[in-house]
Amino acid sequence: MMNYELRMTKVLLTFALLLVCAVPVFAKQKATLGSFDGFVERMAAGTRELGRGNTGSADTASMPAAYWNPAILGFRENFSYTLNAEKRDLDRAGGSLGIESKVGKRMGVGFAMLYRGDLAFDVIDDDDQTMGTASPYFTMMYLGFAYRATRRDAFGLSLSMSYDNLDIAEYFDGVELVDDYRSPVTLNLSWLRQWNEKWSSSVVIRNISFGENLSAKWSKNTSTDNSVASTDGVRPKVLQIGLGYRTRIMGKPVYAWMEAIDYQVADTLLAFDPDLHVWTGRVGFESELIPNGTLRVGMDDLNFTVGAGYKFEIRIGKKKYPFDVNYALIYESEAGLWTPLSFGLRGNIP
């Protein structure tokens, strides 16, 4: 038994090392994933998950599940909620809201909304003159469903749609600019398996459209009078594979989470050219060092994170209402930026 645990630990460490080593190789390609709605990948949907490297797809406790992996909803037993908020440098703020619940014996349903906003963004004209400030914002909403096929397996899907508002139309006289856009509905498919008490794995396919080539692509008409050229909005197809491992070290529970992610940045059904793919990895660890208190550490691409959480419980009458408070700190090494203000609240209502 000891040899088996040693072999599994070696496999886990090897996979984590491969992910970490792969990140610098493809870091420069990550710029391809820019655009205003790229925050979905760069800003966390959950503070708990952010503290351990922004990992959450292979954990049945991740929230909001409709974003991380809708198959997680198949493992819900109670009504659950989560609320997260963070303030980053450059006057940028973000957060998320999620609610989810069990439906019947084998199904679950959940809703998630992610938000990003720039609090004071300078609007500059062609002469490099500052015209004023704008507060552009972006939201993305997910409606997820899951079916638990077996005691260990669940399959899920979620429908997602984005809305963004540039907040600059007032600064352009004589041009009928359109500030707000809505993306078409896209589809996300997923699977999660809890192999045993120690291992879990997940597969998530994101941003599948109902259009040609299954690509999430649409046209943005910047002005109502066509005086400004339209642009195309596109969201890359994503393959996300997650792995989770649970063990005990010196009597303390220790968890490890890893994710390998492939972004296909091409408007085709499948692209086999490596230049049309961006690969990255995430890895995170956490341990309950004191009763109800958890410490976390991780890396998302070239961003390093640490986090902490504590579980509380409120008793009202005969019922107990558990909830936990989480904190995360991020260092974005490429930009040299620290983000010390990330907080989250999550809980269950029996």
Longest dimension (CA), the chain: 75
- How far apart CA 288 and CA 273 sit, in angstroms, is 43
Residue 169 contacts residue 177 (beta carbons within 8 Å):
yes
Q: What is the per-residue pLDDT across 192-209, written as a single tens digit (0 to 9) for each?
A: 999 999 999 999 999 998
- Dist CA 52 CA 259 (whole Å): 11
Q: What is the pTM of this model?
A: 0.85
* Structure confidence at residue 334 (pLDDT): 80
The residue with tokens 């809708």 is: 70
More confident residue, 67 or 21: 67
Three-class SS of residue 75? helix
2-349, what's its fold?
A: Porin (2.40.160)
pLDDT band, very low/low/confident/very high, at 227 (cuts 50, 70, 90)? low
pLDDT digits 0-9 by tens, 258-282: 999 999 888 888 888 888 888 999 9
Q: State the first-to-last Cα distance of the chain, in angstroms, to the nearest integer.
A: 38
Pairing of strands 237-249, 231-235: unpaired
Q: Domain segments of the chain: what residues?
A: 2-349
Nearest to 328 by CA among 57, 61, 43: 43
Distance CA 24, CA 333 (A): 12
Residue 146 contacts residue 156 (beta carbons within 8 Å): yes
The residue assigned the tokens 């597969």 is: 203
- In this predicted structure, the answer to whether residue 9 has a pLDDT above a threshold of 50 is no
Least trusted range by pLDDT, from 151-155, 194-198, 299-303: 299-303
pLDDT band with cut points at 50, 70 and 90 for residue 169: low
Residue 32 pLDDT: 42
Residue 31's φ and ψ, nearest 5 degrees, are -60, -25
Q: How far is the C-alpha of 342 from the C-alpha of 326, rounded, in Å?
A: 8
Count of positions (residues) in the chain: 350
223 pLDDT higher than 70: no
Q: Name every residue whose Cβ is closer than 8 Å to that of residue 2 and which is 6 or more positions away in sequence.
A: none
* Mean pLDDT of the region 175-202: 87
- Give the helix ranges, DSSP H, for the chain: 2-26, 39-42, 47-50, 65-68
